[in-house]
Structure 1
Amino acid sequence: MTDLPATHEELLARIPIPDGARLEASPITYGHDGTELEGYVAHDAAADEPLPGILIVPDWLGVGPNAELRAQMLARLGYVAFVADVYGAGVRPTSDEAPSVVGAFYRDLGLMRARVQAAYETLAELPQVDDSRIVVIGYCFGGTAALEFARTGADIRGVVSFHGRLLTHDPSDAAAIRGKVLILNGGADPSAPDSDVSAFQDELRSVPSIDWQVNTYSGAPHAFTVPGDRFRPVADARSWRAQLDFFDEVLA
């Protein structure tokens, strides 16, 4: 298993390792259109049947401790968790570098969606995964990317965005969304102001068949689930619980 910073280990320790589990986590190499990508997969190797898959699209720092933490947490709960590499193998920007790196994907939503698609296909092909039960989740930039992927008509059970930007489209392609939608936002997040939330909900309302929810957590800033200065333990715990309840529903 990957070593995590102490702050992340504290969160991981809240989820006990099941008796008899043999947890494994490691990098995994795959590709998209000539670009080498290196994701990260965590799962219980002792499982005797295929497990539901959770595709995690990381924040703008890419594959690293924040997403690996969540993958290990989900592996302890009986999921195969795969962290997508949107940027490319070896592209792991610092906080100062991330805006310019992520900006290229906001300017090319087709590429953003395609990189998530490549990760989805890799996850679905893993022998330990039940490819009929997959949910895509994302954090910050990853939340936006997860929602964009859902707009491709992907055959997924659901999509979860943690403090992601909520982009609307004109003309709308929301009718392509097949999975259920869960949005988990901070009430003090300037990246998801009330105007964006309202516009996003209006777009979803235009397609009555979409099953969607939006949860807002009071006082929570952007990146409230990320250990550090902006971490808000109550909002993190509530949003995590909401996600697990969502999984129980859509993966049943």
Structure 2
Amino acid sequence: MRIAALSLAGLLACSAQAAVITEELEYRVGDQTFKGYLAIDDAHPGPVPGVLVVHEWWGHNDYARQRADMLAELGYAALALDMYGDGRQASHPEQAGEFAQASLASLPQAEARFNAALALLAGDGRVDGERIAAIGYCYGGGVVLHMARSGADLDAVASFHGSLTPLAAPLPAGSQTRIAVFNGAADPMVPAEQLRAFRQEMEAAGADYLLVDYPGALHGFTNPAADQAAARFGLPLGYDRDADQDSWRQLQAFLQASLARKEE
């Protein structure tokens, strides 16, 4: 009985101390090294669903990692991946544009970089590799939509203030990947005609999709640093707290519905 009591006390102590744990990861694609950041809450019995987080055009920075932490607090294993290599980050929009353009110059190469992170997350013993989603911001939003269109093994993708124009072929009919798009209606980088074309693409494919267009919201509306970047570089960016909070709330419901399907 004394041993059992001690074991129970130990379990209670572990439970009380359970929290999000993070890991710095390195993985390779060809001869290049990439940096990853994994966040998972050890209070949740595994395996848990996984979510990839694709950064803005600034690169693999603290903002992407913060979102990974927030996903871990919800019970997911979240991997903030690296699309540029070596964890590179841009300090100026011109440099960010160069990094983004170079990463997408070869779509097969871009897909290989994404899929390497996908395999890393799905292969973790704490993760249910059959239940994986991806979310992306700005540049990353365009990346996750491309991966859905290219047939990546993802249950769902969500884009926040990302480009909606296909990088290659549109979403094929019969795609099983659920899609969510959270867009700023005042974002000059996503004009109305792009929004209309996206709706037509989704309808033509018979997609299971959600499109939320926030009135008055600018590009980068989820990132509190958007206002500072707008002032410093004269960019049409802006943080919108209401749109940020609502899109995160809707993402939670979207992920729960998308990643619970295989449990039924």
| TM-score interval, smaller chain | 0.7 to 0.9
Change (3 A) 1:90 1:56: closer
CA distance in 1, matches of 2:58, 2:124: 25
Match of 2:177 in 1: 179
1:196, distance to aligned residue in structure 2 (A) = 0.6
Q: Report the CA distance between 1:176 and its aligned residue.
A: 6.9
* Higher radius of gyration, 1 or 2: 2
Separation in 2, partners of 1:143, 1:98: 15
Partners of 1:222 and 1:99 in 2: CA distance? 15
- State the shift of 1:168 in Å: 2.8
SS class of match (1:91): coil
Partner of residue 112, structure 2: 114
Aligned partner of 1:251 in structure 2 is 259
Shift of 1:124: 0.5
Cα distance in 1 for partners of 2:47, 2:177 equals: 21
Residue number in structure 2 paired with 1:161: 159
SS of 1:216 mapped into structure 2: strand
Q: In terms of mean alpha carbon deviation, does 56-65 or 136-145 score higher?
A: 56-65
What RMSD over aligned residues (CA atoms) do the two structures have, in Å?
A: 1.8
Q: 1:68 matched to which residue of 2?
A: 65
- CA distance in structure 2 between the partners assigned to 1:19 and 1:185 by the alignment: 39
Separation (CA, whole Å) in 2 of partners of 1:33 and 1:177: 29
- Paired AA for residue 241 in structure 1: R
Q: Contact 1:53–1:123 (CA<8 Å) still a contact in 2?
A: yes
Change (3 A) 1:158 1:222: same
How far does residue 106 in structure 1 lie from its aligned partner after superposition?
3.6
Give the deviation of 1:56 after TM superposition.
0.4
From 42, 45, 52, give the equivalent of 1:45: 42
1:234 equivalent to 2:242? Answer yes
Cα offset for 1:62? 1.5
State the match for 1:206 in structure 2. Answer: 204
Distance in 2, Cα, partners of 1:173 & 1:186: 22
Structure 2 residue runs of 5 or longer lacking an equivalent are 1-14, 228-237
Q: Which residue in 1 is equivalent to 2:84?
A: 87
Once the two structures are TM-superposed, the CA of residue 90 in structure 1 deviates from its matched residue by 4.0
- Structure 1: 5+ residue runs without aligned partners? 1-17
Q: Please give the alpha-carbon distance, in whole angstroms, between the structure 2 residues aligned to 1:30 and 1:170.
A: 27
> 2:149, 2:172 within 8 Å by CA — same for their partners in 1?
yes
TM-score (norm 2): 0.83
TM-score normalized by the length of structure 1: 0.87
Shift of 1:231: 1.3
Identity %: 37
How has the CA–CA distance of structure 1 residues 234 and 108 changed in structure 2, closer, same or farther, with 3 Å as cutoff?
same
| Correspondence for 1:220 | 217
Determine whether 1:101 maps to 2:115.
Answer: no
Separation in 1, partners of 2:214, 2:169? 30
